[in-house]
Amino acid sequence: MGDNAILATGAYLPLLRFDRTAAAKALRWSGLGGGQKGRRAVAAHDEDALTMAVEAARLATADAPAPGTIIFGSTSAPFTERAHGTLVGEALNLSPDIRSLDVAGCRRAGFAALLDRLGQSGRTSLVTTGERRPVKPGSSQELGWGDGAAAALVGPGEGLARLLGQASINRDLVDVYASAGRPAPYAAEERWVRDIAVAEILAPAIRTALAEAGVKPGDVTLAAVPDPVSGTYKAAAAACGLKAPNVCADIQAAAGDLGAALPLFGLALALERAAPGDVVLVAGFGSGCDVGVFRVTANPARPSAGPALAEGHGFDEYVRLLSLEGAVDLDWGPRSEADPKVPASVLWRGARAMHGFIGGICRKTGVVQFPKSRISVSPGSHEIDTQDDIRLVEVPARVVSITADRLNFSPDPPFHFGLIQFENGARVMMEMVDTGRTTPAVGDAMRMRFRIKAADRKRGFRTYFWKAAPLARPHLEA
């Protein structure tokens, strides 16, 4: 199994949670919308698979050794030519000489990469996954799928869990597909999917993995198995003799099927809920499956999956959901026509400092500023090149001034922005996000979030930067 262990996990959900029953109500006239209950995690207009994967990666790498490899996994990566692993590395301010790669192609891509890295002894790797998948309004996926991200850090050491056994089955079961010609999912008949997924894919792989691990089905404490359609895990568990509850069912009810991020989110949640010594079975599903059986050695120092599920801002406006999904293109008027084109040469000069939120600290005065400049902002300073790099992402920060700007175009108004004061002295005019439509007050504590800075819809490009969000999220009512 190799010497590597799961060293840390991180799970991230966007702030917004849509009440599924509101869609059923809005769609009642059509007979669509089904009877789904619970909530769907909905990415903000400035979040994508990459930004959320960065947030999960931050959680997994906090207080941990820097990884030598970054793997980004998603079926909804924003670019087909621009490496997301590289962007994750820049956002985490990792050295540019590490290895990075993107994996894709099916929902189990990220978990398959994780199993692969667990077999690579001695090297610390970060696997981070994120999804924001396009869906058709009224489809079962619109409500059943959710947006989110999860990451795991793998490397030598005792860590949180060790792999005991694994198995893979590769079969072209097209329960759902998306393609260049059809970016939104096209799903097969659900009862057929369930029967084949259980009999031909999940149950055989689970049996093999348990046998390799030397673990009896009844000794599995928790499972994290995505349900491609409702009831799949239940049937597979019955077929294999598993008694363990499935944490993915909780995730899917509270946030939705997170695609490539679901197995890692499930792993993170299971490790938070399990006790040392417990056995956890995790599966990735899609074009076959991968199953891993883990022995828990410790709980995460800072849980993230449980809080991510429990906190958020609920909403029930179906048209807002459609707009956030990109399913309706509202006419926002001429103010939405600004052209945010950024020349590649400008991006090249500035992007690493932007992605890493790297400012400067003056060696002469200790003054911290963003962005860096040849001559420091320190009053009276005229010397050139006195600054060293300083990263602002994790520095405590507060609001100096703020407004809810309703004139400025925002795809999800209002547009909050203002001056942010960092504890180390840096001060930056910033956009503020995740406000739940409540304007933060002067003096409120804020945290940094990696977001899309500008979306150039005309050219299909986007730039990334950090935005300030309230430190705490509201608790969601059950």
The structure tokens listed for 74 are: 């998603």
Contact status: 438 vs other proteins (CB under 8 A): no
SS3 80: coil
Binding to other proteins (CB under 8 A) within 447-476 occurs at 453-454, 463, 465
Cα 190 → chain centroid? 27
Residue choice 25, 341, 363, 437 for contact with other proteins (CB under 8 A): 341
Residues 6+ apart with CB under 8 A from 408: 335, 415
Angle, to 10 degrees, between the axis of helix 84-91 and the axis of helix 344-356? Answer: 50
Where helices occur in 185-283 by DSSP H, the ranges are 190-196, 203-213, 232-240, 247-254, 262-273
CB of 470 to other proteins, least distance (A): 15
Nearer to other proteins, 4 or 463 (CB): 463
Q: Residue 441: phi, psi to the nearest 5? A: -100, 160
CB of 167 to other proteins, least distance (A): 46
Contact status: 441 vs other proteins (CB under 8 A): yes
Contact status: 443 vs other proteins (CB under 8 A): yes
Query: Site map for other proteins, 372-411, x if CB under 8 A?
Result: -x---xxx--------------------xxxxxxxxxx--
Contact status: 366 vs other proteins (CB under 8 A): no
User: HSE of 83 in the Cβ direction (CA atoms, 13 Å)?
Assistant: 12
Binding to other proteins (CB under 8 A) within 304-333 occurs at 333
Find out whether 27 and 143 touch, Cβ atoms under 8 Å.
no
Residues 6+ apart with CB under 8 A from 104: 73, 74, 75, 77, 260
Contact status: 350 vs other proteins (CB under 8 A): yes
Residue choice 354, 361, 446, 448 for contact with other proteins (CB under 8 A): 354
CB of 346 to other proteins, least distance (A): 5
Contact status: 369 vs other proteins (CB under 8 A): yes
Cα 258 → chain centroid? 9
Residue choice 24, 27, 347, 455 for contact with other proteins (CB under 8 A): 347
- Which residues contact other proteins (rule: CB under 8 A)? 333-335, 337-343, 346-347, 349-351, 354, 367, 369-371, 373, 377-379, 400-409, 414-415, 417-419, 421, 425-431, 439, 441-443, 453-454, 463, 465
